[in-house]
Each structure stands twice: as structure tokens, then as C-alpha cells.
Structure 1
Amino acid sequence: MEYPLIAPRPPRLSEQKEGLERIEASGQFSNNGPEVRALEAEMVAQLFDGRGAALAVGNATLGLMIAIRQAAGMHPAPGTLALMPAMTFAATAQAAIWAGLTPLIVDVDPQTWAADPAEEERMLALHGSRIGVIVPYATFGAVIDLDRYAWLARRHEVGIVIDAAASLGTLDQGGRGFGTGAPFALVYSMHATKTFSVGEGGLIYSGDADRIDQLRAMTNFGFESGRNATLPGINAKMPEVLALMARSKLAELDSICAARAAMDREYRDALTGLSCQRVDAMRQATQFMPVLLPAELAPRRAAIVSALAADGVGAGQYFSPHLGEQTLFRDTALIEPTPVADDVSARMLSLPITDAMGPGDATIIAGRVMAAIARVATQYGPVSASGDAVQGCVMIGGGPAGTAVLTAASKQGLLERLAGDGLVMVERSARLGPGALGDYAIRSDTTAETFLSAVRDNPYPELAALESHPAGQMMARHCGALGAPLSETAPLLTVTAQRLRDIITAHGGDVLTDTEALSAQQTEEGYWRTTIAGPGGQRSLTSRSLVLATGGYQSDEQIAESMVAGARLGALAGDRLMRSDALLRRGGVEQVAARLADRRAPRAVIVGASTSALASAVQLLKCHDLPWGAGAITLMVRTLPKPFFPSVEAAEAEGFTDFTPDDVCPVSGFVLRLAGLRLESRELVMRMLALGGRTPDPRVTLHRIAGDDDPEARRIIAQADLVVGALGYRPHGLPLFDTNGQPIALAYRAGRPMVDRHCRILDDRDRPVPNAYGIGLSAGFVPWGRLGGEKSFQGQANGLWLWQNDVGQMIVEQLLGQGTQGWSSAAA
């Protein structure tokens, strides 16, 4: 037997001869005629205990538009917000936009899938009176707490409109029709696909009859009396023929809802291993059966739907994509982090509940669902000994380095293949892309052109289009400048990551935000089992490969324990010590100004010669609140900082000769390609070295540490009011365990590079850990072979361009089983 997902069964017009003749005889086919008035009265009497009033409308979207407009104050100011959950139909946000409001989209509760109450209240506290209306959705016909919304309306003086599209026939805990007596408007749908199946049509109900009277005028062009428009209005009236059909449907609604409730119970008993929505209603008007696939099967949903179709079962995925993932709303709405909705939407599977089904059919469908899941799990990938589906790769970290791997794959046209192989990206924060870059107050040491190169001429049109996106245009304004403000790099990185995510999820991959990886353990089969914790609790993912793009960090302890001039920096500096990472973040310079406010002639020491050290000096020099005098800022280094040059000729033209042939990259011809400082940091070094006719800044001086016995270095630190430690970053990493559950000792924990020349994670004996790769800040990668770089370079290379190109490509090729042969043959 075939089971379509939706099988509309509206009343047959052919059986409504008497009613149609009655309409013809009345001569009134619209404009609140007798059939519409009769329907409204019958609805209030049968569904809402005779309390309040109802208004029939042409469709539920029209009903939402006028109800939202009324609740927001008739003439909302530009920028007024309509607060709504991510898990609802597009019509909700569309109605808000047509009413002149901006949707504000928030996350949902993991059990009910309705708006998260804590998020709603957080938004009310954050935006205050700018929120004109809250538009909760009674998800899939569920019951939500209307008393709470009445309280919110009073407390915050905010309008409320309940999107109850699927709820005609739902009974609350007291056995009354959902919405009975509510002081605000509830909007219900009579679309052919709903339990209350008519064809089109909608109903607005409120316990406040005066509210309905005003809404009735708004449905009739805003005419409160005569032909004088006094209110914002449109034509939203229900035709008489639709009202006739709706009256017929109302007569059979109780029996329909009871039969569907029985199917819901049957499904719940038969669907083992699948999560269902929590039901708080006495009876829910069930349109279809929504269930969640196990998280590890989310990337295989499309295949499961296809397998069910082959077995005669129609299946859908309401609502996937959710509002926050849809293009229009991402461009026009305010979207808060939605990790729960992301997870629910990715796992949602909608199963048939139709009027054509009978007892036992839900059990049959459930059996076909479980069989389809088993077939897909076998067909599309191995299953581990624990029964988990095996993904191709679990990538930990969705910041600049992690998304750079995806960018590298996109540039090679391999992103679809990588996703289809079973890619799962795990990101601890609520969004992909910028990581913490937007938290920094400095300019990038990467050019704006490099940021744009991720999307420019990309093989994927949706990525290439970002060059003309507002975020791309913002970045383009900084082309040719000394980097871009890091705060302005975040929008482009964010929207690029969103498009990458769309491509991944559309081709079988998955992205889990607001989810933290806790550890990973090798299995007997040679896989990695990664334990993660997210909105749905703690669980594990099994994969062939593991990529750590977890970034780096500085700690006060790390900086304090660093040896400088034969002593620990913490012992030399005491409470005057500050991490460069803290100084470079937003508010860092203000902290320094506050600490040194009582110093007439403040003195600062920056220990280190890295980009962070020079950027710290640049930030201090920009702080005009502090009276830096001559020699007030000392850059204390072991190795003299040097600038980057695009060629030997360019270096010589600027008067820079402190380099040898080993400092020239054999691939690009750049001088000090890896070790040389760039952009703002380079400009400061050029001034310090008086190159190209530049005049040194008298406020900055240089001290080169003379080994462990350097009393002058210790004296300079002792006399400083501020000591900034710019001594590098350490990898965040991830605890890795062997098959016996014992920790794997890793090289980076002993202070050595995290990865080898192929980006493979190294153990404490510098051996590659099988199928584990690393990339990003402090990973310790050193370019080689065709990647270029000067022979003299000592240290590690961190650069967005490298990550988005050769380094990312190297990892992608290994994940897809292409090995490292092409790279090995390119070794210098």
C-alpha cells in the first residue's frame, strides 16, 4: 500500500448542492456574507466554549499580516521587531515583513520545538520597546503556555499574535479548544494540507471581541464605517464558498482529530530510537508525524527519504531549512544563535498521518522507516562495532582555520565530495566563520585582498556572489590598505561560512554549532570515536578521520612561566604583566590606560618579536590618552624583527640588505616570505630601521636580549610600568585516547609542533597519529616543497591564504584518500 505524506481530503463541493444553491440565492459571494458569519459563530460555539469572537479570512498568511500589524501598533516605527522562533513556516516571517516589521529569530526548546522562553525574555531585555510584537508558533498543532504570553504582554507592553496554523482541533489540558479566552489574536489555517482541510482559508480568534471587530475592518480595506478608510487594511475576506466548505469540515473535525491522535500513539509505540515532540495537549490536531533521526544519521536523511519513497512512503522535513537558514531572512532579519533549531531541523523527518489511513497503518510505516534506516546505514557507510554509522571526517572547530579547509575544498571543486563522504563539523560557539577575530581591536596582518580571494571566482556561484555582498563590499574598501580592521573581517567570514554550511548540508554533510568536542578515542577498527556535548546532551560520533582546527590560546600562567634573560617573566614583572592577547582585544588599550592613568611618564616593555609583539606596540602608540615620551616603549627581542619584501629588488630599493639567499623564497622570490613582518607591523619595523627614508618613532626603542645573563634586560623590565608578554600561542588541542582508553602523549604538549609537514598530528615520539590532522594558529606547520618559503625560516607559519589554499588542500586530499604522494614529490 502507498502512503503519501499529505493526502488532502477537503469537503466535496459536489455534495454541497444545497449550500451552493443557498449562496446563489443570497446573491452574496463575499464581504462577510451569511455563510462566513455562520461559520464564525459555529467555530466560537464548538471550539472555544462560546467565548470571544472569530474572524474568517482568505488564508492564514493574510490573517497573520493584519494581526501582526494591529498588535504592533498600526503604525510601527521603522526597525520595529517581530520576535519569532526559528522553527516555523516561512509565512510567519513573510507576514511580519509585509506588516512593516523586521523578524527577530530566536532558538527553540529542545523538547517542544516551540520558542525557547529564556531566549524570548533575553531578547525583551536586550531590545526593549523596539520589539513591537511576539509571534510564537504552536509547533505542529501543539499547546503552548498562553498565560505566560499574556503576562509578557502586560509586563513588557508588547503585542502578541499566536501562529496557531496547525492547531484547529487541538484541545488544551483542560479539554478546551486551544486559544479559548486568550486576550490576543490566534491565527489558524484551513489549508488543504492541514488537519482542518478546506483548500484555503484561515481563522483569527480572540477572547477580546473588540479586537476582532477592528481586525474585521482591516480585512475590508480599513473601512470601519462606510467607504472611509481609517485603518491600515487589505482585502483578506473569506469567500462564501470557502465558508460553506469549512462549515462542513467543522462537523467532522472531532472524529478526524481522534483518529489522528490514535495514529500518533501508534507511531510512538513503534518508532524505536527516534525522538518525538513532547505533547502537552489533551489532544493535538496532528497534521503529520514529526520525528528526529539519530544525530549520526542526519547527513543521510535525503537517502532515507529516497529509500522510503521506494517503499511507498512519502516523507518530508518540516521545517528544514528553518527560518534562520533561509536566504531571504538571512538577508533581512536579525538572527540570534539557533543551535537547537539547527540540530532539530537537520534531523527532522515528517511521516504520513492522513484521513485515508486506518488502525495498523502507522505501525506498517514505522516498520518501513526502521528498515530504510538500516539499509541506508549499511549502503552509505560502514557501521562501527558499537552500531554507529561511520562518517568520513569529524572536523573540530569551525573558525577561520576550519572553514579555510572547506574553502580550499571549494576552490578545487571538492566540497560536495567531501560533504558526501560524511563530513561533520563541530563548533563550540553559536556560529561558524570568524571565531574570535571580531573580538580584536587591531588590523589584520592579512590583506583585504586575501580575505576576498576565498570567494572571488570560486567554482561555487553562491560563494563567488559574496564578492558583491555587503560584507564583501565592506572588505573591498580596505584593499590596498595596511590590512583590514579585524572587527570588519567577521561579516565576510560569517556569511562565507553560512554558504559553505549550506553546500555541506545539501550534499550529505552536517554542521553542529554550540557543540563542544570533549575527547576522541581510537577504535579497534581504526576509526575515531569523538565524544561531543551539545543542546541534545552528550553523544559520540564515529569517523575514519579527525581534523583539529581548534585554534590557540595564551594564558597568564604560560606567559608568567616563560624564561626571559635567565628568569621567569612572571617573577620579573609581577602584577605589571599583561598578555599581548588581552591587550590586542577590544577594550585592551582602555585597560592599559586605566592602569597607567596616574603615571606622568609611563614606560612599557613588550617582550617578543612576533606579529603580536609589533601589533601591541602599534596599539600602545595609538593610545593618545597616555603621554608616551622618548624611549617609553621598549621592544625586547631575542631575534631582530625584519620586514617582508615582495622581491630582492624591492628590498634593495628600500635600503634593506640584512638578508642572504637563504632568506629568499625559491617559489615566489619574496624576501623573508614567512619570517618577515607585514602591513602595520611591517611599517613600524621599517620606521625602526629607518628604511626607505622613514624617520624612526622616538617613542619606541629596541633591546636585544643577550642570552640568559642580561642584567640590562632585567633592569628595563624592573623599571617598566607595564610588561606585555607577546610570546606566542599554544594549541587548544583535544584529548586523544588509544584503543585501551589510555591518553596518547602528543608532541605539542611537550612544546614541539603539533603537526608534521603533512599536517598530521604527532605523538610525543614525533610519529603521526593515524588519520588525525591539525591546522590553524599554533599548529606548528612549516611550509615546504611547492608551498615555498625561505630556507632560513625557523618557527611556524600561520596564514589565512595558506590555510585556504595549499595547506587546506593538503588536508582535503588526505581526507579523500588521495594520500600525500603529490606533496612528497614536490619536496625541496
Structure 2
Amino acid sequence: MKNLTDSEWVPLLVPDMPSPQAMLPWLERIQEAKHYSNFGPLVRELEADFSIRFGLPVEQVTTVANATQGLELVLQALDLPAGAHVLVPSFTFVASVTAVLRAGFIPVLADVDPHSWILTPEIARTACEYMRIDAVLTVATFGTPHDMQAWGNFEKITGLPVIVDAAAAFGSQWLNGAQGTLVFSMHATKSLPAGEGGLVVSSRIGLARKVRQLSNFGINLDPKLGLAVGTLAYAGTNAKMSEYHAAIALEMLTHWELHASERRYLYAELRHKLNAASGQKIVWQYQGCDHSTIAPTLMCLRLPDEGARDRLEQVCQQARIMTRRWYLPLLENMPILQRRCIVLDTPCAQALSRTLLGLPFFVGMSSCQRQRVLEAMEISMSRPSVPVKSEKKCGDGPVNS
């Protein structure tokens, strides 16, 4: 166990960004064009690449400065009624709910599925039976993709628009011929990092174009719309992607499949070995997809109980291994949100909040760093458990395969 005394911390995340040398040709192109923002040539090149990948006309994709602003602008572009109720999972990053609030709407916090940890069409339908819902903003939690055919059926039956916050799901979340709107992040920690940036992909005709207009202050630039060019069409904001961020994204796309395969290999190896180190006691998120298409960026798992989670945290702290309780506290437990949200019953989200933990995961993770994490898991699982009081059940978790 000598590795546990290593002086350097094992980091939780390490961004996988291009080298300065790799960026030089892109910087030279920017300098030659003298176009640095306002939908420059590299932004348009990036959007053309995305349109091919998603099989949609380029008018149905648009870049934005970041995913949070992408969510806000999509909500604004949907022309929802004042005070609209937007269904959001309680188990998600704060940006999902702040986007709803900043768009002027009321978040309705719902539960998640006990296996996939996502807000499903079934959960949304149940919520609609109890109260008025005007739109759904679900989340591809930790990159887990949604069944867009199922959400398309939900939209047809209910008439409600559905937005997927796919911030962590580039490479795994696709429309697959279905209707829908996806918002991706290109933050430095995501599978397609640009330092910062976002992407909106929508099958809704005109939605991406309106988001693009809103990202440029709401100014009309299309002479065909019957409004003078330069006239303000909507009250928008400045959420345009810069040429520099587009350059990073384009460079990363040239190596994306290779980097994705490295992440998949590392994730599969760690998952297998963590299962063994825990005595097959940990539970993993059910992702319901072909793992050959994803590029995982996080290593999140559920421990058998709250005591086991606390013990693993303690062992990792002693061993100088960073961990994180992702998405905690739950949105409904944040004082600033409690008076601004409607909260539904969330037993599964509550159960996740007591047992989930994130462990180190990043490209370039050394064998020594991996071994330290595995040893910490083995040590924590060998310590006696302490009984905790029972809580409301949300259903059995998935198998720990």
C-alpha cells in the first residue's frame, strides 16, 4: 500500500486540450482573415462540420459562447408563456435550472430514473398528470444519451417542447432521425473541449436560426425577413463563439475519435478493476447505448450505502486522491432555489445524493495514479459498515456489471 503515501494529489479531472504547436496553423488563419468574432470563417467551418455529423442542414445548428447561454436562448426562442413551468431533473448541475430562471420561467424539479439517473418521458408524463407543465428540459446525465424517439412521441402526445441538456454528451447523444433539440458544451472538461463554447442542434425549423439571432443581441441580419438589416428583432444578448474557441474545437475534432477511444479504454479498465476492488459492491449508471460511440469524461459510481461513500471519501482524502459528490447538494436543497422552484417528490434523486461519488478520471492517468485509486477502494470496502436509518425507496439499482 506504499502508493497511498505518494505526496502528489491525484487530480479529479485534467483537461485534454491541444498543444500550442498544434494551434499555430489555426492562429495564423485567424490572423490572416482578421476576423475574430461575429460568425467568422472558423465558426462557420465548425458549424458545417457539425451539420454533417448530425445529418441536418447547417441552418439547424449554431454555435454559442457556452452551453448555459445556449439553454437560455433555446428557452427564449420557444416563445413560452410568461411564468411557464419547465420540468427539470433535481439531479443535475445548477446551470440547467439557472438557465430556466434567467429565461424568466419557473423550474419544476422532478425525480430521475433509478437505473439511468435521467429524467425520462415516463417521469415527465407522470408530472404532467399532477400539474401544468409547459416545457421539459431534461439532462443527458454524465453523458448518458436519451431515447429521442421516445421523447419525440412525448412531444407528439403532449404538444410540449423538449430540450436535452447534452452538455457532457457530445459523441453519445444523437437525434437518430427523431425530432428534438440538443444543447452541447465545449467546456475544457468535456469530450469535445474548446476551452469554452456551446452548440445547439435542433430539428425544429427556424429554432437554431432564432437562437443564432438572439446570440447576436437579437439584431436582424436577414434582408428576407421583412425587417431592416441592423434592426433589433428580439431582446437578445451577446453569446457568440469566438474564432479562437472555434479553432480549438476544430483542432480537437481532427483527433476526436482517437481521444474518445482512449477514454473508452481507460473507463472500461477502471470500471472492471473497481468492481473487483470493491468485491462487486458498487453500482454503475445504466447508459443504454453502444459504448463504442461515447467518450466518457467522468468516473461516477454508487456505493452500497452512505457509510460506504463516507469511508471511501475518507480513505481517498488520506491518500491524497481527489473526489467529488457530483451535483450535490441537490437543487431542491439549495436555499436560493427553494423559494423559486416547484419541487416534486424525488426519492431516487435523494438516494443518489447519499451514495454517489466521483473518482479521478482523465486522459493520461498514470498506472500509479490508477493503482492508488484501486487501493483506496479496496481499503475502504474492507472496513466495517455502520448501519444507517432507512429512507424512502426509489427502486432497485442496476447490476454492478
Deviation at 1:30, TM superposition (A): 0.7
One of 10, 15, 18 as aligned partner of 2:22: 15
Question: Which letter does structure 2 place at the counterpart of 1:63?
Answer: G
Which residue pairs with 1:59 in the alignment?
Answer: 66
One of 367, 373, 386 as aligned partner of 1:390: 386
One of 323, 332, 335 as aligned partner of 1:324: 332
The answer (yes or no) to whether the contact 2:326–2:357 under 8 Å persists in 1 is yes
The answer (yes or no) to whether the contact 1:86–1:338 under 8 Å persists in 2 is yes
Work out whether 1:178 is the aligned partner of 2:185.
no
Deviation at 1:92, TM superposition (A): 0.3
Which residue pairs with 1:671 in the alignment?
Answer: none
CA deviations over 1:643-673 (Å, ceiling 9, x no partner) = xxxxxxxxxxxxxxxxxxxxxxxxxxxxxxx
Question: Which letter does structure 2 place at the counterpart of 1:342?
Answer: Q
Alpha-carbon distance between aligned partners in 1 of 2:127 and 2:395, rounded to the nearest angstrom: 23
For structure 2, which runs of at least 5 residues remain unmatched after alignment? Answer: 1-5, 222-228
Which residue pairs with 1:6 in the alignment?
Answer: 13
One of 108, 111, 116 as aligned partner of 2:112: 108
Deviation at 1:116, TM superposition (A): 4.3
Alignment TM-score, normalising by the size of structure 1: 0.43
Which residue pairs with 2:282 in the alignment?
Answer: 274
Deviation at 1:267, TM superposition (A): 2.6
Alpha-carbon distance between aligned partners in 2 of 1:336 and 1:222, rounded to the nearest angstrom: 35
Question: Which letter does structure 1 place at the counterpart of 2:394?
Answer: P
Which residue pairs with 2:158 in the alignment?
Answer: 156
**Are residues 209 and 352 of structure 1, via their aligned partners in 2, closer, same or farther at CA, if it must alter by over 3 Å?**
farther
Which residue pairs with 2:297 in the alignment?
Answer: 287
The answer (yes or no) to whether the contact 1:169–1:253 under 8 Å persists in 2 is no
Deviation at 1:34, TM superposition (A): 0.5
**Are residues 258 and 138 of structure 1, via their aligned partners in 2, closer, same or farther at CA, if it must alter by over 3 Å?**
same
Which residue pairs with 1:348 in the alignment?
Answer: 356
Alpha-carbon distance between aligned partners in 2 of 1:334 and 1:178, rounded to the nearest angstrom: 30
Alignment TM-score, normalising by the size of structure 2: 0.87
Question: Which letter does structure 2 place at the counterpart of 1:105?
Answer: L
Alpha-carbon distance between aligned partners in 1 of 2:307 and 2:365, rounded to the nearest angstrom: 28
Deviation at 1:371, TM superposition (A): 1.6
Deviation at 1:48, TM superposition (A): 1.8
- Aligned pair count? 375
Which residue pairs with 1:143 in the alignment?
Answer: 145
Which residue pairs with 2:43 in the alignment?
Answer: 36
Alpha-carbon distance between aligned partners in 1 of 2:318 and 2:364, rounded to the nearest angstrom: 20
Correspondences of 1:403-482 after superposition (within 5 Å): 424-426=388-390
Question: Which letter does structure 2 place at the counterpart of 1:249?
Answer: M
Alpha-carbon distance between aligned partners in 2 of 1:161 and 1:49, rounded to the nearest angstrom: 18
CA deviations over 1:63-83 (Å, ceiling 9, x no partner) = 010012223x25x222x1110
CA deviations over 1:745-785 (Å, ceiling 9, x no partner) = xxxxxxxxxxxxxxxxxxxxxxxxxxxxxxxxxxxxxxxxx
**Are residues 116 and 22 of structure 1, via their aligned partners in 2, closer, same or farther at CA, if it must alter by over 3 Å?**
closer
Correspondences of 1:172-571 after superposition (within 5 Å): 178-208=174-204, 210-225=206-221, 226-270=229-273, 271=275, 272-283=280-291, 284-297=294-307, 301=310, 303-357=311-365, 362=370, 365-374=373-382, 377=383, 383=384, 389-391=385-387, 424-426=388-390, 512=391, 515=392, 534-537=393-396
**Are residues 308 and 161 of structure 1, via their aligned partners in 2, closer, same or farther at CA, if it must alter by over 3 Å?**
same
Alpha-carbon distance between aligned partners in 2 of 1:6 and 1:44, rounded to the nearest angstrom: 30
CA deviations over 1:604-645 (Å, ceiling 9, x no partner) = xxxxxxxxxxxxxxxxxxxxxxxxxxxxxxxxxxxxxxxxxx
CA deviations over 1:88-112 (Å, ceiling 9, x no partner) = 1000000000011100010010000
| SS of alignment partner, residue 275 of structure 1 | coil
CA deviations over 1:120-164 (Å, ceiling 9, x no partner) = 112212224xx2210010111111111121122222221211100
Higher percent of residues as strand: 1
Deviation at 1:307, TM superposition (A): 2.0
Deviation at 1:295, TM superposition (A): 1.3
The answer (yes or no) to whether the contact 2:71–2:183 under 8 Å persists in 1 is yes
Which residue pairs with 1:77 in the alignment?
Answer: 82
The answer (yes or no) to whether the contact 2:117–2:141 under 8 Å persists in 1 is yes
The answer (yes or no) to whether the contact 1:164–1:188 under 8 Å persists in 2 is yes
| SS of alignment partner, residue 63 of structure 2 | strand
CA deviations over 1:283-328 (Å, ceiling 9, x no partner) = 3321111100111525x52x53242133243211112212222222
Alpha-carbon distance between aligned partners in 1 of 2:166 and 2:396, rounded to the nearest angstrom: 29
Alpha-carbon distance between aligned partners in 2 of 1:101 and 1:207, rounded to the nearest angstrom: 23
Alpha-carbon distance between aligned partners in 2 of 1:536 and 1:361, rounded to the nearest angstrom: 35
Indicate the structure (1 or 2) with the bigger Cα radius of gyration: 1
The answer (yes or no) to whether the contact 1:319–1:348 under 8 Å persists in 2 is no
Which structure exhibits the higher relative contact order, with contacts defined as CA atoms closer than 8 Å and separated by 6 or more residues? 2
